[in-house]
């Protein structure tokens, strides 16, 4: 069954145009201060995890909802491309929700016996945020991926 | 893929119901042909595909943790009579198969409607000589979810004629009665605006074919009366008590509104 | 006593990569919520999940309060021999809940 969604395109288009105009005019960053702080907190947590190793992109696939039905349960599927052999496997996969009070969600520790580095977990998201996945390989290399999930305030509780 | 297509084809080909085969696929079709013919929609059809995915897999559907609780309690002897549900009712899959589709029912000995929670508690107090369970306790929720789960896939079919008729009329009146500071009736959201948005949520038809339901918002399973209370509070109306006549009558009316929908207990909703 | 579900395919061919699914009843109290008296409700979560295959740990997860209540977890394991896959969930107090399932590998 398809759900009708009235959000999105027209509003997004409007903001893009307005934002572009505003940036051009004022030359001021539109990113709110709290978001900058959250990103800094998450990056610090990632640095602590990786020992500052530079992160590469690729190898991580993330499946997340575009809009979370409810921020209390956001299903996330993450898989990391790896042969999972004794000499080449994913050692750990850490997940962060950038705009949460604390960004850490979970860390998954694999062994070659897993055969595949793929996990499915439900996480809590306080608000719209980037979900960041960081994979550390057996050779020490680090990969990072992120996806934004929208979290809205519902209208009907009870 | 093939299996899914086959099952879908069966749903729309038969005039009757599609009973869920316990294949562990947990694939519950939210609507049977009868309900679909009348344009009645289950809350499942308004949910995002991720939420539907949570419901479809018995291993990711947290409501099943309450089914497990109910299953454990089914064989637990309690009360002065020293009996368990199993002692009288045997295998729940057999004896409770139709229980989930027909409640609330008119009951002679009390002269009014009785819903599943009340029926279970009456069995406990009268037959098991045990204490009644509290309405939102994990035991009553577990047992109600377990019992109704036995009817999964069968179409809701409540009796609204005969002795149930006057109570059904009261439930219908309640549904259409404005109340609270917001001066709204159930129908304003669930009939006039089903499919529209209230802030960021999509309004459903307010069907109860999936109750007791695992609400993401509650982080646990909850009863129909809990939901009614919440809805009443939303329009700033004083909620009625769990197990009140008003809510049991309303339950019959709302169940009838969803006639023909497959039982989805435990459903997963926002 | 927490109730938990664990699902592992009953049968698999040697070398197949199977999916293990688990679900456990737990509030995963974050420590952020306030009670009716206005005081914060103390944190109480499952912080570690460990999976062993015939006694050898093959996978584990460390959880933070941002994992949803009644947590679901799914991961993959290569089927190598018949035996038991066991999951152990440990909470902040060190309390452990375990669940195991058998698999036949041909």
Q: What are phi and psi of C21, to 5 degrees?
A: -120, 140
Q: If pLDDT is split at 50, 70 and 90, which confidence band does A138 have?
A: very high
> Both tokens of residue B224?
């129909």
Q: Is the pLDDT of residue A6 over 60?
A: no
Query: How many structural domains comprise chain A?
Result: 1
**What is the C-alpha to C-alpha distance for residues A98 and A80, in angstroms, rounded to an integer?**
20
What pLDDT does A11 receive? Answer: 52
Q: If pLDDT is split at 50, 70 and 90, which confidence band does A94 have?
A: very high
**What is the C-alpha to C-alpha distance for residues B214 and B204, in angstroms, rounded to an integer?**
16
| A157 in a structural domain | no
Minimal Cα–Cα distance from C2 to chain B, Å?
9
Q: Is the pLDDT of residue B5 over 80?
A: no
**What is the C-alpha to C-alpha distance for residues C89 and C94, in angstroms, rounded to an integer?**
9
B27-62 confidence digits (pLDDT tens): 445 567 677 767 899 999 999 999 999 999 999 999
Do C66 and A102 count as a contact with CB atoms less than 8 A apart? yes
What pLDDT does B18 receive? Answer: 39
Q: What is the ipTM of this complex?
A: 0.95
Contacts of A104 in chain C (CB under 8 A): 64, 66
What pLDDT does B29 receive? Answer: 52
Q: If pLDDT is split at 50, 70 and 90, which confidence band does B21 have?
A: very low
C71-106 confidence digits (pLDDT tens): 999 999 999 999 999 999 999 999 999 999 999 999
Contacts of C67 in chain A (CB under 8 A): 105-106, 121-124
A52 dihedral zone (left: phi>0; alpha: psi -120 to 50; beta):
left
Q: Which of residues 35-64 of C touch B (CB under 8 A)?
A: none
Average pLDDT over residues A94-120: 97
- In sequence order, which residues have a C-beta less than 8 Å from that of residue B61 and are 6 or more positions away? B26, B54, B55, B214, B266, B268, C23
**What is the number of other CB atoms lying within 10 angstroms of the CB of residue B192?**
11
Minimal Cα–Cα distance from B196 to chain A, Å?
8
> Both tokens of residue A30?
């539109």
What pLDDT does B24 receive? Answer: 39
What pLDDT does C2 receive? Answer: 59
What pLDDT does A20 receive? Answer: 46
Torsion of CA B51, B57, B58, B59, to 10 degrees: -100
Residues in chain B: 270
All partners of chain A with 3 or more CB pairs under 8 angstroms: B, C
At C65 the three-state DSSP class reads: coil
Q: Which of A14-23, B138-147, B149-158 has the lowest mean pLDDT?
A: A14-23
What pLDDT does A31 receive? Answer: 64
In chain B, what are the domain boundaries? 64-149
Contacts of B53 in chain A (CB under 8 A): 75
CATH number of B64-149: 1.10.760.10
Residue B59 at interface with chain C, using a CB cutoff of 8 Å = yes
Residue A75 at interface with chain B, using a CB cutoff of 8 Å = yes
Residue C59 at interface with chain A, using a CB cutoff of 8 Å = yes
C31-80 confidence digits (pLDDT tens): 999 999 999 999 999 999 999 999 999 999 999 999 999 999 999 999 99
What pLDDT does B22 receive? Answer: 39
A27-49 confidence digits (pLDDT tens): 445 667 777 788 999 999 999 99
Do C3 and B59 count as a contact with CB atoms less than 8 A apart? no
Q: Is the pLDDT of residue B230 over 80?
A: yes
| A145 in a structural domain | yes
Q: Is the pLDDT of residue A13 over 60?
A: no
Asked if C12 and C67 count as a contact pair (C-beta separation under 8 A), the reply is no
Do B41 and A1 count as a contact with CB atoms less than 8 A apart? yes
Q: Which of residues 69-128 of B touch A (CB under 8 A)?
A: none
In chain C, what are the domain boundaries? 4-105
Minimal Cα–Cα distance from C83 to chain A, Å?
14
Do A152 and B217 count as a contact with CB atoms less than 8 A apart? no
What pLDDT does B118 receive? Answer: 98
A74-89 confidence digits (pLDDT tens): 999 999 999 999 999 9
Q: What is the CA radius of gyration of chain B?
A: 18
Asked if B99 and B116 count as a contact pair (C-beta separation under 8 A), the reply is yes
Q: Is the pLDDT of residue B137 over 80?
A: yes
**What is the C-alpha to C-alpha distance for residues B241 and C77, in angstroms, rounded to an integer?**
49
B191-227 confidence digits (pLDDT tens): 999 999 988 889 999 999 999 999 999 999 999 999 9
Contacts of A123 in chain C (CB under 8 A): 66-68
Q: Which residues of B participate in catalysis according to the annotation?
A: 231
Q: If pLDDT is split at 50, 70 and 90, which confidence band does A157 have?
A: low
Residue B188 at interface with chain C, using a CB cutoff of 8 Å = no
**What is the C-alpha to C-alpha distance for residues A62 and A3, in angstroms, rounded to an integer?**
23
All partners of chain C with 3 or more CB pairs under 8 angstroms: A, B
Q: Which of B60, B72, B219 sits opposite C23 (nearest CB)?
A: B60
On the CB side of A53, CA atoms within 13 Å amount to 16
Contacts of C9 in chain B (CB under 8 A): none
Q: Is the pLDDT of residue B232 over 60?
A: yes
What pLDDT does A70 receive? Answer: 92
Q: Which of C5, C21, C74 sits opposite B65 (nearest CB)?
A: C5
Contacts of C24 in chain B (CB under 8 A): 65
- In sequence order, which residues have a C-beta less than 8 Å from that of residue B104 and are 6 or more positions away? B113, B114, B115, B116, B158, B248, B251, B252, B255
Residue B47 at interface with chain A, using a CB cutoff of 8 Å = yes
Residues in chain A: 158
Do B59 and C23 count as a contact with CB atoms less than 8 A apart? yes
Asked if B208 and B100 count as a contact pair (C-beta separation under 8 A), the reply is no
Average pLDDT over residues B120-144: 97
**What is the C-alpha to C-alpha distance for residues B194 and B192, in angstroms, rounded to an integer?**
6
Q: If pLDDT is split at 50, 70 and 90, which confidence band does A155 have?
A: low
- We report the CATH number of the domain holding residue A122 as 2.60.40.2470
What pLDDT does B226 receive? Answer: 97
Work out the percent of chain B whose per-residue pLDDT is above 90: 83
Which long-range CB contacts under 8 A does A65-69 form with residues at least 24 apart?
A65/A149, A65/B48, A65/B50, A66/A149, A66/A150, A67/A149, A67/A150, A67/A151, A67/A152, A67/B48, A68/A125, A68/A149, A68/A150, A68/A151, A68/A152, A68/B50, A69/B47, A69/B48, A69/B50, A69/B51, A69/B216, A69/B270
Q: List the beta bridge partners of residue C49.
A: C61, C89
Residue A47 is part of which domain span?
A: 29-151
Work out the percent of chain C whose per-residue pLDDT is above 70: 98
- Which fold, C4-105? Immunoglobulin-like (2.60.40)
Mean of per-residue pLDDT scores for chain A: 84
What pLDDT does B96 receive? Answer: 97
B86-95 confidence digits (pLDDT tens): 999 999 999 9
Contacts of A3 in chain B (CB under 8 A): 46, 48, 202
Asked if B212 and B140 count as a contact pair (C-beta separation under 8 A), the reply is no
| A20 in a structural domain | no
Q: If pLDDT is split at 50, 70 and 90, which confidence band does A153 have?
A: confident
Q: List the beta bridge partners of residue A63.
A: A77
**What is the C-alpha to C-alpha distance for residues B98 and B145, in angstroms, rounded to an integer?**
14
Do A158 and B230 count as a contact with CB atoms less than 8 A apart? yes
Asked if B64 and C23 count as a contact pair (C-beta separation under 8 A), the reply is yes
DSSP state of C86: E
Asked if B261 and B152 count as a contact pair (C-beta separation under 8 A), the reply is no
């Amino acid at each position: 069954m398809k759900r009708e969604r009235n959000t999105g395109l027209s509003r997004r288009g409007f903001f893009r145009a307005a934002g572009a105009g505003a940036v051009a005019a004022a030359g001021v960053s539109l990113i709110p201060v709290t978001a900058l702080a959250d990103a800094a907190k998450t990056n610090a947590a990632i640095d602590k995890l990786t020992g500052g190793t530079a992160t590469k992109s690729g190898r991580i696939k993330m499946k997340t909802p575009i809009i979370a039905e409810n921020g209390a349960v956001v299903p996330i599927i993450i898989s990391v491309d790896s042969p999972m052999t004794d000499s080449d496997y994913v050692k750990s996969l850490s997940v962060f929700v950038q705009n949460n009070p604390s960004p850490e969600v979970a860390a998954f520790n694999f062994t070659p016996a897993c055969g595949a580095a793929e996990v499915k977990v439900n996480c809590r998201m306080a608000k719209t945020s980037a979900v960041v996945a960081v994979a550390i390989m057996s050779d020490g290399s680090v990969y990072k991926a992120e996806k934004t999930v929208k979290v809205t305030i519902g209208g009907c509780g009870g | 893929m093939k299996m899914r297509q086959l099952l879908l084809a069966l749903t729309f080909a038969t005039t009757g119901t599609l009973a869920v085969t316990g294949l562990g696929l947990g694939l519950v079709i939210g609507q049977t042909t009868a309900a679909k013919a009348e344009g009645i929609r289950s809350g499942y059809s308004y949910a995002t595909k991720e939420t539907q995915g949570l419901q479809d897999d018995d291993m990711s559907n947290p409501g099943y943790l309450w089914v497990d609780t109910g299953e454990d309690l089914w064989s637990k002897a309690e009360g002065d009579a020293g009996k368990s549900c199993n002692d009288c009712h045997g295998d729940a899959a057999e004896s409770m198969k139709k229980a989930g589709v027909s409640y609330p029912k008119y009951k002679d000995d009390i002269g009014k409607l009785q819903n599943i929670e009340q029926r279970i508690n009456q069995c406990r107090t009268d037959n098991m000589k045990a204490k009644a369970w509290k309405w939102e306790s994990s035991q009553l929720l577990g047992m109600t979810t377990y019992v109704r789960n036995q009817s999964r896939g069968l179409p809701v079919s409540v009796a609204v004629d005969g002795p149930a008729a006057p109570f059904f009329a009261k439930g219908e009146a309640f549904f259409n009665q404005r109340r609270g500071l917001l001066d709204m009736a159930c129908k304003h959201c669930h009939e006039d605006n089903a499919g529209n948005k209230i802030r960021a949520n999509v309004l459903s038809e307010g069907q109860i074919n999936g109750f007791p339901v695992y609400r993401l918002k509650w982080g646990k399973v909850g009863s129909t009366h809990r939901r009614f209370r919440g809805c009443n509070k939303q329009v700033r109306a004083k909620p009625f008590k769990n197990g009140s006549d008003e809510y049991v009558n309303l339950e019959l009316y709302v169940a009838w509104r969803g006639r023909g929908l497959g039982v989805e207990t435990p459903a997963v909703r926002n | 006593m927490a109730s938990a579900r664990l699902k592992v395919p009953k049968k698999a061919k040697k070398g197949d990569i199977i999916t293990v699914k688990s679900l456990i009843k737990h509030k995963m109290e974050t420590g952020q919520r306030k009670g009716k008296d206005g005081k914060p409700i103390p944190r109480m979560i499952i912080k570690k999940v460990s999976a062993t295959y015939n006694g050898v740990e093959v996978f584990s997860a460390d959880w933070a309060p941002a994992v949803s209540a009644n947590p679901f977890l799914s991961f993959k394991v290569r089927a190598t021999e018949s035996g038991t896959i066991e999951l152990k969930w440990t909470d902040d107090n060190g309390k452990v809940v375990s669940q195991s399932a058998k698999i036949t590998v041909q």
